[in-house]
Amino acid sequence: MSARLLNRELSWLAFNRRVLSLAEEQGIPLLERVKFIAICSSNLDEFYQVRVAALKDQVAAGLTHVAPDGVSPQAQLHQIAEAADRFVLDQEEVLDVLLHDLAERGVRLVDWKSLSLLDQSFLIRLFEDRIFPVLTPLAVDPAHPFPYISNLALNLAAMISNPETGERRFARVKVPNVFPRLVALPDGERFVPVEQIIAHQMHSLFQGMVVEEHAVFRVTRNADLTLEEEEADDLLVAVELELRRRRFGRAVRLEVQQGISGEMLDLLVREIDLEPTDVTVHRNPLDLTCLFQLHALPRPDLKDDPWPPVTAGRILRAEEQDRSIFSVIRERALMVHHPYESFASSVENFIAQAADDPRVQSIKMTLYRAGGDSPIARSLMRAAERGVQVAVLVELKARFDEATNVGWAKTLERSGVHVVYGLVGLKTHAKCTLVVRADDDGLRRYVHIGTGNYNSKTARTYEDVGFLTCDEQVGSDVTALFNHLTGYSRAVEFESLLVAPNDLRTNLLDLIEHEASFGAAGHIVAKLNSLTDPEMVDALCRASQAGVRVDLLTRGICCLRPGVEGLSENIRVRSILGRYLEHSRVVRFEHGEGDAPMFLLGSADWMERNLDRRVEVMVPVLHPKHRDWLDQVLAFELADDIVCHELGSDAVWRRRGPEVFSDGDAQERFYNWVADRQRK
C-alpha cells in the first residue's frame, strides 16, 4: 500500500458512494434524493464504459505495469468488482427506503403481481396497442446465432420450449426506448417498469410455445474512442467512423435480475464473453437512470425550492441604462459565478451582443460540450451569416459528446463559420472566447475565460466561474493561443495566462514550492474536480512537511493520502456535494506577488491528462473585489459547520457537519449571500 497515493479507480468509486449518501440525507426533498440514485447509476455506467474497459484492455494486452499506488490492472479489476457488488447492495437498500417514503406521499413504483385485474387489463391493452408492434423476438438456433447485445440496452432473456418436441431455445427480446421506461397507470401515481409488462405478455411473442423462464439483463461495453490522429487524413471522418465502431465495443459488465437461473446466467456469460466476476445481480429494476422520470413529475412539494439565478449587479445596471456589456467590461473586468449568477444574462448575452454588434469584427471560441440546443452556437452562426469572421475550435473528442459535437461542427460550417478541430494528440479543454471590436478609441479585444463549458443546460446545475476582461495582456495571450490552435506554430510564450501543456505544470509546481518557503505562514487552497497527478501530490506533501497548511476541496477523485505523520499531516481534504455540481477550479496561494494572495481560475484539474495531454488555461484574478468574492466562496466551503465529507489517512471518507443537511448546506448559504448582495 502506498503511503502517499490512493488508487484512482477506488477513489472514484468512493466519490460515487458519496453521491449515494445524498440520497440518504435528511433535509433533502424525496424526489431530489431519488435523483441522486439515478445519478449514481449513470456515473457507474460511464465508469465501466471507460475506466474498467481500459483496465480490461491492459489485461488483455498482457500489460502488467502497476498504477502509481502500486496495484496491477488485474488486482484493480478484482477490487473494483468487490466494491461494485457492495455498492449495488447499498444502493438497493437506500432505494427501498426512498420508494417506501415516496409511496406514502403518493408516488409508487409497483410490480405487476401487485396489480388488480383491472390494472392488468389496462396494461395488456397498452401492450397490444403500443408495445407489441415494435418488439422483435430473436431466438438462438443453428440458423440464428446469438444476437449482438447493444451497449446499455435493456433486454429480456427467455428460455422457450416446444411442448410437442420438448426442444428448448434461448431467446432475447430487446426493450425499445421509444416509449417511457416507467409506464403510468391511469391514476398518475403508480408506475410499472415496462419490462415487467413485456415479461408477463411474453407468450404472445412465441405463439404455441412455453415460456419456461425469463429474466432482465443489460450489457455494458467499452465506449471510449480510440483514434490514431496522426494517421487520420480527416479528423471529422475519423471520429464519425469510430463512433460507429464504438457500438461494437467489447463487453465489460453484465447486469442481471435477481432470480435468474444458473443455466441462463452461464449462457449469457459465455456468449457475451465475460467472467463471473463481471456480473452484478440486482433485486430492484436494472438501469436506475429511469428514476429521472420520477424526478420529472410535477411534484414541487417533493423537490428543492427553486433558486432563481440573479443577474450580476453591474450587468443589471448596464441593462437599466441601455448600455452594452462591452461598456461594463471596459470599466473593469467582470467575474460571474454560475448558476448563482445567470449564465444567460452574462456569457450568452456577451456572445449574442457580439454576434449582433456592427462594431465586432471577429469572434473566436473553443467549444468542448456545446449541448443539444445551444443559443451560443446559434449566435455564432448569426454572426457568420452577417459577415463577421467567426472561428470555432470544436473538440470532437469530448467523451460521450462526440456525436453532438460532430453535428455542431457540420452545422457551423454550413453557416460560414471557420471550424477547426484542435491539435493532434491533444484535447482542447480550455474555455475561451475572443471578441475583437472596433471601439471609439481603436480595436479592443474582449475575452471570456471560464471554468465550465459553453453549455446552457449544464450552466444551470454546474457551479462554475467566468471571467470577462479587455485587459491588453490577457487579450494578447488569448490571441496567441487561438493562433496556435488554428494555425501552425511551435513555441508560444504567454505573459499572463498559464497554459497546458506549455507551462501550467511547471508554474503550479513553482508556486507550491514558493509557498513552501514561507513554512507555517504558508497556506494553499485548491478547489478541484480531481487530483491524481503524482508529481503534484509530491509537491503538496513537501509543502506540508515545510509546515504549509493545505486545504483541498476535491469533489471527485483524490489520490493524495492526507494526515500521514511526517508526510501530509498539514493537508486536509474535503468533498462538497449538493444541489449543484461543484465544477469550478480555483487555486489560492497565500503568498503571491507582493503581499496579496494569488488566485487562479480556469479549466484544469490536477491530473496527468489535464496538465500534459490537454490544452488548458488558467488566468490570474487580480481585482480586490474578485479576490474577496473567491475568498467568500472558499470560506463557506471550508467552514467547520457545513455538511461535507473529509478524507482520512486510512483512505476513508467520513461525513462531517450538522445531522440535517439543510442546516449545513454550503451552497444554500452562498446562494443566500449572493441574493442578499443583489437585494442590497
Centre a 10 Å sphere on the Cβ of residue 583 and count the other Cβ atoms it contains.
20
Q: In this structure, are 397 and 537 located in the same domain?
A: no
Instruction: Report if residue 319 sits inside a domain.
Output: yes
What is the average per-residue pLDDT within 305-322?
93
Q: In this structure, are 271 and 347 located in the same domain?
A: no
Q: How far apart are CA 479 and CA 628, in angstroms?
A: 29
pLDDT tens profile 115-139: 999 999 999 999 999 999 999 998 8
CATH number at residue 471: 3.30.870.10
CATH number at residue 24: 3.30.1840.10
Find all residues with CB under 8 Å of 225, minimum gap 6, and list them: 239, 242, 243, 246, 397, 399, 402
CA-based torsion, 554, 557, 560, 565: positive or negative:
positive
Given 282, 337, 429, 448, which residue is catalytic? 429
* Beta strands 360-367; 389-394: pairing state: parallel
Q: Which one of 302, 323, 342 terminates a domain?
A: 302
Question: Could you tell me what percent of the chain has a pLDDT over 70?
Answer: 95
The pLDDT assigned to 243 comes to 57
Q: Over 72-132, what HEC string results?
A: CHHHHHHHHHHHHHHHHHHHHHHHHHHHHHHHHCCCEECCHHHCCHHHHHHHHHHHHHHHH
Residue the block writes with cell 425499445? 176
DSSP assignment string, 232-252: -S-HHHHHHHHHHHHTTPPEE
DSSP state of 144: B
Q: In this structure, are 111 and 190 located in the same domain?
A: yes
The pLDDT assigned to 231 comes to 46
Instruction: Report if residue 277 sits inside a domain.
Output: yes
Residue the block writes with cell 475572443? 434
Q: In this structure, are 402 and 261 located in the same domain?
A: no
Poorest-pLDDT segment among 58-62, 304-308, 400-404, 472-476: 400-404
Q: In this structure, are 258 and 335 located in the same domain?
A: no
Q: In this structure, are 25 and 171 located in the same domain?
A: yes
Asked if residue 561 has pLDDT above 60, the reply is yes
The pLDDT assigned to 576 comes to 97
Render the burial of 326-346: b for 16+ CB within 10 Å, e for the rest.
bebbbeebbbbbbbbbbbbbb
Say whether 479 sits in a helix, a strand or coil.
Answer: helix
The pLDDT assigned to 240 comes to 62
Asked if residue 567 has pLDDT above 50, the reply is yes
Instruction: Report if residue 93 sits inside a domain.
Output: yes
* 144 or 243, which is more confident: 144
Q: In this structure, are 431 and 536 located in the same domain?
A: no
Q: Which one of 486, 517, 550 terminates a domain?
A: 486
429 given a catalytic annotation: yes
Asked if residue 379 has pLDDT above 60, the reply is yes
The pLDDT assigned to 213 comes to 93
What is the average per-residue pLDDT within 376-389?
94
pLDDT tens profile 94-113: 999 999 999 999 999 999 99
Confidence band for 92, pLDDT divided at 50, 70 and 90: very high
pLDDT tens profile 533-556: 999 999 999 999 999 999 999 999
Residue type (1 letter), 664: G
What is the average per-residue pLDDT within 62-80?
90
Q: Which one of 302, 337, 372 terminates a domain?
A: 302
HSE on the CB side for 597, CA within 13 Å? Answer: 20
Confidence band for 235, pLDDT divided at 50, 70 and 90: low
The pLDDT assigned to 64 comes to 82
Helix axes 73-104, 30-47, angle to 10 degrees: 160
Centre a 10 Å sphere on the Cβ of residue 32 and count the other Cβ atoms it contains.
17
Instruction: Report if residue 376 sits inside a domain.
Output: yes
Say whether 507 sits in a helix, a strand or coil.
Answer: helix
Instruction: Report if residue 2 sits inside a domain.
Output: no
Split into its structural domains, the chain has a count of 3
Instruction: Report if residue 451 sits inside a domain.
Output: yes
* 177 or 2, which is more confident: 177
Q: In this structure, are 96 and 174 located in the same domain?
A: yes
DSSP assignment string, 260-329: --HHHHHHHHHHHT--GGGEEEESS-S-GGGHHHHHTSS-GGGSPPP-PPBPPHHHHHHHHTT--HHHHH
Q: How far apart are CA 258 and CA 280, in angstroms?
A: 9
Helix axes 53-60, 73-104, angle to 10 degrees: 160
The pLDDT assigned to 595 comes to 72
pLDDT tens profile 568-594: 999 999 999 999 999 999 999 999 877
Q: Decide if 678 contacts 313 (C-beta within 8 A).
A: yes
Confidence band for 370, pLDDT divided at 50, 70 and 90: confident
Instruction: Report if residue 493 sits inside a domain.
Output: no
473 lies in which domain range?
Answer: 313-486
Q: In this structure, are 86 and 141 located in the same domain?
A: yes
Q: In this structure, are 118 and 59 located in the same domain?
A: yes
pLDDT tens profile 325-368: 999 999 999 999 999 999 999 999 999 999 999 999 999 999 88
Asked if residue 233 has pLDDT above 70, the reply is no
Q: In this structure, are 449 and 549 located in the same domain?
A: no
Question: Could you tell me what percent of the chain has a pLDDT over 90?
Answer: 80
CA geometry: angle 565, 571, 573, nearest 5 deg: 125
Q: How far apart are CA 22 and CA 26, in angstroms?
A: 9
Confidence band for 491, pLDDT divided at 50, 70 and 90: low
Q: In this structure, are 506 and 468 located in the same domain?
A: no
* 623 or 486, which is more confident: 623
What is the average per-residue pLDDT within 222-232?
61
Instruction: Report if residue 492 sits inside a domain.
Output: no
- The most distant pair of C-alpha atoms in the chain lies apart, rounded to whole Å, by 92
